[in-house]
């Protein structure tokens, strides 16, 4: 399975409905609906046949870098 987003691609941060935060997750609500750019991504394979992508996104407005799951992103269309 290929990554949905590529390095350099502009994205929008989206909130996942019914998201349950665990102590290791950050609250991304302050970043919702804001633009950023994918600067890196990692593939995680917890079990045979499962593939997850984690993305490092640099926010456009303040250059903060945050780590997001694929379902917390959407393609930015100008």
What is the pLDDT at residue 57? 97
Identify whether the C-beta of residue 7 lies closer than 8 Å to the C-beta of residue 38: yes
**Structural domain contains residue 23:** yes
**Structural domain contains residue 54:** yes
**Structural domain contains residue 31:** yes
Give the residue-averaged pLDDT of 64-68.
93
DSSP secondary-structure letter at 16?
P
Match 């399975």 to its residue by tokens.
1
pLDDT exceeds cutoff 90 at 34: yes
How do beta strands 10-13 and 65-69 pair?
A: unpaired
Owning domain of residue 52: 10-75
**Structural domain contains residue 38:** yes
**Structural domain contains residue 1:** no
pLDDT exceeds cutoff 80 at 23: no
Give this prediction's pTM.
0.83
Number of domains observed in the structure of the chain:
1
Q: Which residues contact 8 (CB under 8 A, 6 or more apart)?
A: 37, 38
Q: How confident is the model at residue 15 (pLDDT cuts 50, 70, 90)?
A: confident
**Structural domain contains residue 45:** yes
Q: How far apart are CA 71 and CA 68, in angstroms?
A: 8
């Amino acid at each position: 399975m290929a990554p949905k987003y590529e390095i350099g691609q502009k994205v929008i941060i989206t909130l996942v409905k019914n998201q349950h935060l665990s102590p290791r997750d950050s609250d991304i609500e302050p970043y919702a609906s804001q633009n950023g750019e994918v600067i890196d991504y990692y593939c995680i394979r917890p079990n045979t046949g499962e593939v997850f992508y984690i993305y490092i996104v640099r926010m456009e407005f303040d250059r903060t870098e945050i780590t997001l799951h694929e379902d917390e992103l959407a393609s930015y269309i100008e």
